[in-house]
């Protein structure tokens, strides 16, 4: 593999991260799981300060960057293998974290499931998208 194939495509990371953020907005909307989310939160729904929407996509951008780095460093070229990686990362970090919140912090199971499902959906999307994008770029360079 040449050096160009090992470089992170920052445009892919940014676009994938922002699309994942939009998918999350849909996930928590009344179209999907917004009712469960609103019903099981402990606080009264309040509008978030405007600055939070500026920083909110940073989570997805960070995950997108790390996912891209892992895909490149592990030389994953098949989107199915990247899906397996994303699932294992989700299981080890997000699912375990949500399980802790459900067990120790009395988070309602439905709410924890909505949160965990959101991250599973986003991580699977990011892994597949970044792998396909990276492979396309690598094939063009070769």
Residues 108-139 pLDDT 10s: 999 999 999 999 999 999 999 999 998 886 55
What single DSSP character describes residue 108? -
pTM: 0.85
In this predicted structure, the answer to whether residue 3 has a pLDDT above a threshold of 90 is: no
Q: What are the Cα distances from residue 44, in Å, to 20, 39, 117? A: 26, 10, 23
Q: Is the pLDDT of residue 1 over 50?
A: no
- The secondary structure of residue 3, as a DSSP letter, is G
Which residue has tokens 């492979």? 135
């Amino acid at each position: 593999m040449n050096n160009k194939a090992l470089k992170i495509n920052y445009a892919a990371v940014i676009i994938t991260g922002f699309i994942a953020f939009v998918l999350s907005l849909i996930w928590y909307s009344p179209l999907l799981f917004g009712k469960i989310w609103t019903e099981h939160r402990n606080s009264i729904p309040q509008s978030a300060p405007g600055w939070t929407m500026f920083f909110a996509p940073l989570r997805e951008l960070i995950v997108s960057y790390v996912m891209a780095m892992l895909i490149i460093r592990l030389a994953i070229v098949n989107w199915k293998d990247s899906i397996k990686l994303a699932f294992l990362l989700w299981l080890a970090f997000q699912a375990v974290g949500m399980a802790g919140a459900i067990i120790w912090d009395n988070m309602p199971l439905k709410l924890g499931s909505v949160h965990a499902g959101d991250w599973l959906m986003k991580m699977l999307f990011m892994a597949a998208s970044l792998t396909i994008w990276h492979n396309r770029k690598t094939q063009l360079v070769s």
